[in-house]
Amino acid sequence: MRVALVNPPWDYRNSIYFGCREPHLPLELGYGAALLASAGHDTLTVDAHLEGLSAEEAARRVAAFGPGMTVVATAPTYLFWRCAPPELRVPRAFLDALGTAGGRTVAVGPHGSATPRPALEKLGCDAVVRGECEEILPLLAGTDDLARVPALAYRRADGTSAVTGGPHASRFTDLPALRWPDAWIARHRHHHHRFDGEPDGPGAEVEASRGCPYTCSFCAKIDFRDAYRRRDLGILLDEIDGLIAQGVTYLYFVDEIFLPQAPLLDALAARDIRFGIQTRIDLWKPDMLDRLGAAGCVSIEAGVESLTEKGRAALDKRCRASTDDLAERLIRARKTVPFVQANLIAVAGDDPGMVAAWRERLRAQGVWANDPVPLYPYPSSPDYRRLWGEPDDEAWERAHAHYLGQFERFSDIQEERPLPLRELEAACGCR
């Protein structure tokens, strides 16, 4: 079968989305295309975001390929599945532009993973994959009987919907080394979350591990990227060496939690490459932080969240370090890593004066700590389930209204006032 895989042209106007707006490599589509190809299918991957295409241009390119199946992502790459735009207007606009020219239409992403039926309805597609999608796509391409494919919601011939099972978790460890077109890498000038200097060459995203052994209350990963898995180091280094050969000078590891791994750090140290990570600083001993910096790490984003042990316990962080220990490790990391950020979130009971003083203390040592931001209770997070139970068909609307009503001010990166979900989706065919 001919299969098209599409990252649509993301547009974040009036969205609560607070992630990075630059294009990043669509790893989930890359793995999907690789597994489809090894199962004998022909694939075309279109990244409208990276390639600067409109929905109509992307649809024309897909239609010219003549696929029997078209896959579209509902989040801007795996990097942002945990904080995706709640609205589905962008993938829906692409599907509307495509019409019937894409064959069977399939959506992949966090929306269908948590709430399959509303995702199916809002997108008007034929099927949505629940959970990590790459291993499910070859099964879909290999059958006409969708009832036999696991982790799926699909539309029956009579228009009703059916769900074949819960979200899928990929094996992940042996996902193949990804190769990207030279033209894509040349366009990828963005160095994600890097602030120590201007890009000196193309950037790229890679994945050394997936999932996380913790269950912080605010973290949207119950339905995907949950259990911790580490990718085979030989495969990962093969991918990294391919990227370096294409001129890449900076890698961003999309791993939920980049844990200390001496063989990987040694391998990175032996290569001419800089990189950025997100992690928990309490899991790094001082000597490993030094090794991380020596390996070429230039950006650390570390979730501290609350500045009190009580606050961190309320968020179920299971953090054994004291707030002073955390500060010490951040400062230690900053000795060898030029940009270190402590992420804070708005936690009831954290004293604003204490937060301001802590931020100032760290800033004096070169460590950036953000102004605490409110949390969005994503349907795949424990917080959502604590508030309202299992997600139902109104889960995203409920989470959205709660978020908009919770705080009067928003993160300073949200330039426009976020709109209610129904308004955001009203402009497209979602409603």
Residues that bind ligand SF4 (CB under 6 A): 212, 214-216, 219, 221, 256-257, 280, 303
CB of 221: closest distance to ligand SF4 in angstroms? Answer: 6
Q: Is the CB of residue 328 less than 8 Å from the CB of residue 367?
A: no
Residue 81 vs 154, nearer CB to ligand SF4: 81
Residue 3 vs 219, nearer CB to ligand SF4: 219
CB of 224: closest distance to ligand SF4 in angstroms? Answer: 12
- The total number of residues shown for the chain amounts to 431
Rg (CA), the chain: 21
Q: Residue 178 gets which letter from DSSP?
A: P
Q: Which residues make beta-bridge pairs with 107?
A: 72, 128
**Alpha-carbon span 242 to 391, nearest angstrom:** 41
Residue 214 vs 388, nearer CB to ligand SF4: 214
Q: At 105, is the secondary structure helix, strand, or coil?
A: strand
Name the percent of the chain in helix, strand, coil, to the closest 5. Answer: 35, 15, 45
CB of 253: closest distance to ligand SF4 in angstroms? Answer: 13
CB of 237: closest distance to ligand SF4 in angstroms? Answer: 24
Residue 209 vs 246, nearer CB to ligand SF4: 209
CB of 313: closest distance to ligand SF4 in angstroms? Answer: 13
Residue 104 vs 221, nearer CB to ligand SF4: 221
- Pull the structure tokens for residue 240: 């990294």
Residue 65 vs 214, nearer CB to ligand SF4: 214
Return the closest-CA partner of residue 25 out of 174, 188, 146: 188
CB of 225: closest distance to ligand SF4 in angstroms? Answer: 8
User: Largest Cα–Cα distance in the chain?
Assistant: 64
**Alpha-carbon span 8 to 96, nearest angstrom:** 12
CB of 375: closest distance to ligand SF4 in angstroms? Answer: 11
CB of 302: closest distance to ligand SF4 in angstroms? Answer: 10
CB of 30: closest distance to ligand SF4 in angstroms? Answer: 22
Q: Is the CB of residue 16 less than 8 Å from the CB of residue 86?
A: yes
**Alpha-carbon span 264 to 255, nearest angstrom:** 13
- If 0-12 CB within 10 Å is exposed, 13-18 middle and 19+ buried, where does residue 234 land? exposed
Q: Is the CB of residue 11 less than 8 Å from the CB of residue 406?
A: no
Residue 94 vs 384, nearer CB to ligand SF4: 384
Residue 228 vs 388, nearer CB to ligand SF4: 228
Q: Identify the helix (H) or strand (E) that includes residue 266.
A: helix 262-269
**Alpha-carbon span 342 to 309, nearest angstrom:** 15
CA atoms within 13 A on the CB side of 206: 33
Residue 103 vs 303, nearer CB to ligand SF4: 303
Residue 194 vs 225, nearer CB to ligand SF4: 225
Q: Is the CB of residue 114 less than 8 Å from the CB of residue 163?
A: no
Q: Residue 205 gets which letter from DSSP?
A: E
CB of 369: closest distance to ligand SF4 in angstroms? Answer: 16
